[in-house]
Structure 1
Amino acid sequence: MVLQRRANLGLRLKLAKCAFLQKEISYLGHTINSHGLAPDKKKVMAIQAAPEPKKCYGITVLLGSLAEAERRYAQIDREALALLFGVKKFHQYLSGRAFTILTDHKPLVSLLGENKGVPLMASGRMQRWAIMLCGYQYKRRYRPGTTNANADALSRLPLSVKPEVTENPSESVLSLHILEITPARPITTVQLRQFTDRDGQLATVRHSVLSGWQREVDSELRHYWNHRHELSVLGGCVLWGSRVIIPQKAWPMVLEELHEPHPGVSEMRSLARSYIWWPGLDADIEKIAKSCGTCQEHQRSPPKAPLHPWAQPERAWSRLHIDFAGPFLGRWFFILSDAYSKWLEVNH
Structure 2
Amino acid sequence: CRFQVTYRAGSQNGKADALSRIFGPEEPCDSNPILPSSLIIGPIVWEIDEEIRTASSQEPAHEGCPEGRVFVPITCRRGLIQSIHEGLGTGHPGEKRTVQLVQAWYWWPGMTRDVNCFVQECATCAMAKVPRHLPVGKLPVPLPIPQRPWSHLGIYFVTDLPRSEGNTCILVVVDRFSKGCRFMPLKGLPTALETAEALFQQ
Report the TM-score when normalising by structure 1.
Answer: 0.24
Q: Which one has the bigger strand percentage?
A: 1
Query: Greater RCO between the two (CA within 8 Å, min separation 6)?
Result: 1
Report the TM-score when normalising by structure 2.
Answer: 0.38
Q: Which one has the bigger helix percentage?
A: 1
